[in-house]
Structure 1
């Protein structure tokens, strides 16, 4: 699990203090928490405004998901020892078509790289549509498996598009077999951001 989190963390580039164009400073749900002084050596917050930051959910790990047409990105990442990570990511695109393309690429990556084998285990993804959230939404599980048995280590994400914006809320940690309750917090956060995203997105 540490290897999985390390790979995702390495992909989410640390950013600058300046606000991304189109996303006011403090707009994301966890920016206030990230701004607080943290003296715990086992926890860390990072805020990135880099347009090059990898899409938080990238099953193929090639950095190709959702790259085209970005105009602003903010990513807030929290990591805690030994194996916990929270990611909040808001991506604004130049058009609704670009945002739709990003969602299509997420689905394609989940299909193309839905299972990766590694030394007797595999890491498998599964996804399902979420009704009534934004214009389109997915909930996604990534999970370690030993044969057909779920092992310890996974991530749970909610990805939402509303107008020309895409939102990602992810938790990674010592999950076992996927359960409905695994997405409670991410769905709540995604609903909150979907309700306010039209302050920066071009909603009709």
Structure 2
């Protein structure tokens, strides 16, 4: 639960700014839903164009992943009481090398901070490559564990690099032990955005 709360706080801190250069309004998949007035006090949408927005999947939580070389960032975050969140993030970099470096830093974080202890519980990350999606793609799982048993609180993300762009689709909530179906929506969304990102990214 602490991990999910931290993710929500990071999303809120990102704030809302003017349109990110290079990312047209309405380009992200979730923007249409985010623009609809929501009177439900238990749900909220936030759209941020802050270039300082944290990389949506950051195992070490230090804000260093994918920070250098950004030219534009848009992050759309949905939160629902008590502990559900989904995030869509598109990051454009000055070069393919900068985008590739972000993926390398992500992998480094997944290795360096793959397991953390917090009193009686722990939080563990695992990842696996996703083939046939963009130029480089990872499926990421973060999960609370009590000993060897999965507890309530986890995140499932898909991170894709295509040219000089990185796309992230993340969901966090009351997950149990990771199962393949946990990434169905994220993979669908990542596939859809990968198909359109070359409209604003340098892919060839």
State the alpha-carbon separation in 2 of the partners of residues 23 and 88 from structure 1: 13
Cα offsets for 1:119-150 (capped at 9, x unmatched):
11100000000000000000000000011111
Q: State how far apart, in whole Å, the 1-side matches of 2:148 and 2:126 are.
A: 14
Q: TM-score, structure 2 length as denominator?
A: 0.98
CA RMSD of aligned residues (A): 0.6
Mapped pair 1:121 → 2:138 = no
Whether the 8 Å CA contact 2:4–2:154 is kept in 1: the answer is: no
| TM-score, scaled relative to structure 1 | 0.98
Residue in 2 aligned with 1:172?
172
Q: CA deviation at 1:198?
A: 0.2
Structure 2 residue 184 is matched with structure 1 residue 184: yes
User: Map of 1:56-67 to 2, 5 A cutoff?
Assistant: 56-67=56-67
Counterpart of 2:7? 8
Find the residue that maps to 2:140 and give its secondary structure.
strand
Distance in 1, matches of 2:118 and 2:198, equals: 42
Aligned-partner Cα distance in 2 for 1:198–1:176: 36
| Structure 2 residue runs without a partner (length 5+) | none
Structure 1 Cα separation of the partners of residues 162 and 200 of structure 2: 11
The structural deviation recorded for 1:5 is 2.0
Unaligned runs of 5+ in 1: none
Query: Is the contact made by 2:4 and 2:153 (CA closer than 8 Å) also made in structure 1?
Result: no
